[in-house]
Every structure is written in C-alpha cells, then in structure tokens.
C-alpha cells in the first residue's frame, strides 16, 4: 500500500514538472513573439494604425475590432502580405482605403506581428505560430484574397 | 545683517517676475537682409524678412486659395499625399488635434499641400478631408502643379519634397509643420510626427495670435 502511494505521488510530481515545463516554454515563446511583434509593429504598422491601434478617423481602420480579427484570423497574414483594397467594415464603420502590401516580410515576422496585434488593443487570441502563417499564406495564394465581412 | 539679504532676495524675485511677465514672442525664421530706407529725410536701416512667395492653388472644394485669401489669418502649412504609407497619417492625426482646438477660429487656417498631384485630384482630396472629419474652408488640401509646389516647399518653406521611387509610396518629403504669420513670415517649424512638438506649436499659435490682438 505504502509503495503504491509513493509511486503515485512520484508519478504525479513527474507529470506536474513536465507539464509546467511545457507551459513555461509556450508562454516564453508567446512572450518573445509578443515583444518582438511590438517592435516590428512599430516599424511596419504603427505609422498608419498608430501606437494605440486606433487608426486615423475614417481613413485608416482601428485594430480593436476583436470580432473581425477573430473571424478573419486565417486571412490576416494575407492582408499584410498582399495588402487590402476592398471595402471592409470595422466596428460597424466602412473603410475603403488601400492598405499597402508588405511582401518582404518573412513568415516568422508575420507570426510575431500578428501575435502582437491579436493580443493588444483589447484582443486576446493567443499566439500565431509560423506553421499557421505558412498554411494561411498557401491557402490564400490559391484563392484570390477575399474579404469576409 | 539679515535685512540686506532679504532685500537681495526680494529684488531678485522682482527681476524674476519681470522676466516671466515679459511678453513672449516667437522668432522670425528664414533669411533676412537689411535695406536702407529714407524716413522723414533720414536714412534708416530696416530689416526685410523672408516671406512665403505668392501662390495660387485649388482646394478640396475647388476654391482658389492664394496669399490674398490668407491675409487675415495665421496658418500652418505642411506637405503630404493621400496615399502616403509612412509619416503622413501620424502628421494628419497630430494636425487634427490642433485643428480641433482652433476650430471655427477664422484667424487660424491650415494648408496641406499634396506633392502627388497626379493621384490626388480634387475629388480625392475632398474624400480625404471628409474622412478625416474636416469641414468648411479652415483646413484646405491644396492641389497645384508639381513644379510649383516643390518650388514653394523649397524656396518658401525651406522644406523639401521630391519624387523617389525607391521608397514606399514613391515620394519623400519632410514631416515639418510650418507656422506662418499674417505677414507671411515663418515663425516656427515643428516635427509633425512628434506629439510634443505639435503641442508646442499649438501653444506657439496662441502666442502668435496675441501678437495681433495687442495692436
């Protein structure tokens, strides 16, 4: 009986240690992406979408529409890479300006930028992985970029 | 022994107060040259300051804006283009806060010159103004020929703008706001991308306006 108890508690401890190690690794990765993403946001996005993500009047949309960013999660990488020229509705307001393409950005950069955006300005979507970005980019280069409103 | 030191302190603070209450004036920027004038039979030397050369451009409502239409206002001038992906949005956002402050004050005008006349036609400028939330004539988005605008930027405002296909957007220009008084002299230059400098400009505009109200 005693042996069983010892064994169980040993297993429980080992499991907890492994599990917490994993969690930590994930959260470290998330934090790294987020802080790198902030820097890259400053370089590539901030001059239009502003430091508070609020955009500019009716010209440049804010990045605070959590529903839009969630529904279009799969398209976000493509919007950055190929730009946007369709009319989109953000927070109930229409925007028809042109978003310039940022074709030079690597998938890892996109992952970091999107991790930052989708976890700032009231968003809370968790990490964007490089693999997810690569898949999204392949998917949308097959179809023409469509905007889901 | 104590009394003299108190006296010194008192006199000192008086001087200090005197300095503070002295009316602050903005400097006059740009080149200047002395000219000899004959006043009442005597030769005096006067200073001629650099002024903004005469211009005539069309705004977003197809109205002509020239030196004459600005004679009773101080104004802020800047250079931009509507499809600009770099510094223009933040400049517009910063200028918008100043515009809101001086809204409906007919002594204060704003002139944004497009440096991309090929793309920024009157309807494009109109749409930009509307979307920015600018109404009326206080803030004009001006269309002029490329040469005349670039020359005005260079010679008039000591600013610069030119076509450069190697940068995003295709045009480069300085991000300065130039504050011009009613006599067309430049009284201040502020980095339009810097919130603090724009706040300073807003204060300086108050100072400049009081200059005219005292007369």
Residue A149 included in any domain: no
Instruction: Note the pLDDT of residue B74.
Output: 97
Q: What percent of chain B has pLDDT over 70?
A: 86
Cβ(B30)–Cβ(B49) below 8 Å: yes
- Residue from the list B132, B168, B169 with its beta carbon closest to the beta carbon of A57: B132
Residue A106 included in any domain: yes
Q: Which residue has the higher pLDDT, B70 or B86?
A: B70
Residue A65 included in any domain: yes
Residue B135 included in any domain: yes
Q: How confident is the model at residue A95 (pLDDT cuts 50, 70, 90)?
A: very high
Q: How many domains does chain A divide into?
A: 1
A122 interfaces chain B, CB cutoff of 8 Å: no
A8-22, A69-83, B48-62, B142-156: least confidently modelled range:
A8-22
A15-19, B21-25, B81-85: least confidently modelled range:
B21-25
Q: Searching chain A, which residue's CA lies closest to the CA of residue B94?
A: A56
Residue B10 included in any domain: no
Residue B58 included in any domain: yes
Residue A83 included in any domain: yes
Q: Give me B106's structure tokens.
A: 């007919």
Q: What is the CA radius of gyration of chain B?
A: 21
Phi, psi values for residue B18, rounded to 5°: -60, -40
Residue B25 included in any domain: no
Residue A28 included in any domain: yes
Q: How confident is the model at residue A4 (pLDDT cuts 50, 70, 90)?
A: confident
Instruction: Note the pLDDT of residue A148.
Output: 45
Instruction: Note the pLDDT of residue B12.
Output: 55
Q: Which residues of B are annotated as a binding site?
A: 84, 88, 173
B207 interfaces chain A, CB cutoff of 8 Å: no
Q: How confident is the model at residue A147 (pLDDT cuts 50, 70, 90)?
A: very low
The CATH number that applies at residue A85 is 1.10.760.10
Residue B77 included in any domain: yes
Cβ(B113)–Cβ(B212) below 8 Å: no
Instruction: Note the pLDDT of residue A24.
Output: 83
Interface probe, candidates B85, B88, B172, B192, chain A, greatest A C-beta count within 10 A: B85
Instruction: Note the pLDDT of residue B171.
Output: 75
- In chain A, residues with a C-beta closer than 8 Å to the C-beta of B85 are 47-48, 100
Residue A148 included in any domain: no
Q: How big is the CA angle at B177 (ends B214 and B183), to the nearest 5 degrees? A: 35
Instruction: Note the pLDDT of residue B70.
Output: 93
Q: Which residue has the higher pLDDT, A67 or B39?
A: A67
Q: How confident is the model at residue B7 (pLDDT cuts 50, 70, 90)?
A: low
For chain A, the straight-line distance linking the first and the last C-alpha, in angstroms and rounded, comes to: 62
Question: pLDDT (tens digit, 9 = 90+) per residue, B91-123?
Answer: 999 999 999 999 999 999 999 999 999 999 999
**Contact criterion met (CB < 8 Å) for B93 and A98:** no
Instruction: Note the pLDDT of residue A149.
Output: 39
The CATH number that applies at residue B70 is 3.40.30.10
Q: What percent of chain B has pLDDT over 90?
A: 60
Residue A147 included in any domain: no
Q: Which residue has the higher pLDDT, A60 or B15?
A: A60
B90 interfaces chain A, CB cutoff of 8 Å: yes
Q: What is the rounded CA–CA span in Å between residue B189 and residue A138?
A: 48
Residue B46 included in any domain: no
Domain hosting B92: range is: 54-213
Q: Which residue has the higher pLDDT, A74 or B16?
A: A74
Q: Which residues of B are annotated as a binding site for Cu cation?
A: 84, 88, 173
Instruction: Note the pLDDT of residue B174.
Output: 78
Q: How many domains does chain B divide into?
A: 1
Cβ(B189)–Cβ(B176) below 8 Å: yes
Residue A132 included in any domain: yes
The size of the A-B interface in CB pairs under 8 A is 34
ipTM: 0.75
Alpha helices by DSSP H, listed for chain A, are: 2-44, 46-49, 66-71, 76-82, 107-117, 130-142
DSSP 8-state assignment for residue B143: B
Q: How confident is the model at residue B210 (pLDDT cuts 50, 70, 90)?
A: very high
- In chain B, residues with a C-beta closer than 8 Å to the C-beta of A48 are 85, 89
pLDDT at A125 over 70: yes
**Contact criterion met (CB < 8 Å) for B96 and A57:** yes
DSSP 8-state assignment for residue B159: -
A100 interfaces chain B, CB cutoff of 8 Å: yes
> In 10 A of CB B21, how many CB atoms?
8
**Residues B123-151: what's their mean pLDDT?**
94
Residue B83 included in any domain: yes
**Contact criterion met (CB < 8 Å) for A98 and B132:** no
Q: Which residue has the higher pLDDT, A133 or B162?
A: A133
Domain hosting A28: range is: 2-142
Residue B15 included in any domain: no
Nearest to B55 by CA among B32, B90, B79, B85: B79
B133 interfaces chain A, CB cutoff of 8 Å: yes
**Contact criterion met (CB < 8 Å) for A50 and B90:** yes
Q: What percent of chain A has pLDDT over 90?
A: 73
């Amino acid at each position: 009986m005693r042996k069983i108890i010892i064994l169980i508690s040993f297993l429980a401890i080992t499991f907890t240690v492994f599990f917490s190690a994993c969690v930590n690794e994930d959260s470290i990765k998330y934090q790294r992406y987020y802080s790198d993403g902030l820097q890259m946001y400053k370089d590539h996005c901030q001059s239009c979408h502003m430091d508070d993500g609020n955009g500019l009047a009716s010209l440049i949309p804010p990045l605070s529409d959590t529903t839009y960013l969630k529904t279009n999660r799969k398209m976000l990488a493509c919007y950055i890479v190929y730009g946007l020229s369709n009319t989109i509705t953000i927070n109930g307001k229409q925007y028809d300006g042109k978003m310039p393409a940022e074709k030079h950005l690597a998938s890892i950069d996109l992952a970091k930028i999107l991790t930052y955006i989708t976890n700032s300005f009231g968003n809370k979507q968790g990490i964007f992985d490089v693999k997810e970005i690569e898949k999204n980019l392949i998917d949308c280069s097959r179809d023409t970029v469509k905007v889901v409103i | 022994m104590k009394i003299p030191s108190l006296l010194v302190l008192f006199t000192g603070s008086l001087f200090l107060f005197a300095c503070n209450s002295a009316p602050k004036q903005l400097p006059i920027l740009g080149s200047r040259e002395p000219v000899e004038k004959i006043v009442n039979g005597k030769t005096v030397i006067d200073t001629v300051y650099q002024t903004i050369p005469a211009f005539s451009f069309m705004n977003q409502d197809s109205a002509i804006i020239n030196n004459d239409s600005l004679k009773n206002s101080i104004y802020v001038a800047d250079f931009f283009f509507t499809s600009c992906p770099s510094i223009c949005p933040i400049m517009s956002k910063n200028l918008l806060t100043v515009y809101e402050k001086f809204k409906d004050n007919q002594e204060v005008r704003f002139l944004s010159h497009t440096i991309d006349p090929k793309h920024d036609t009157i309807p494009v400028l109109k749409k930009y103004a509307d979307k920015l939330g600018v109404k009326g004539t206080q803030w004009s988005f001006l269309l002029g020929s490329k040469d005349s605008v670039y020359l005005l930027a260079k010679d008039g405002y000591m600013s610069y703008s030119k076509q450069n296909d190697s940068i995003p957007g295709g045009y480069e220009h300085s991000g300065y706001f130039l504050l011009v008084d009613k006599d067309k002299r430049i009284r201040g230059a502020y980095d339009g991308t810097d919130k603090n400098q724009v706040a300073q400009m807003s204060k300086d505009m108050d100072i400049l306006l009081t200059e005219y109200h005292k007369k």
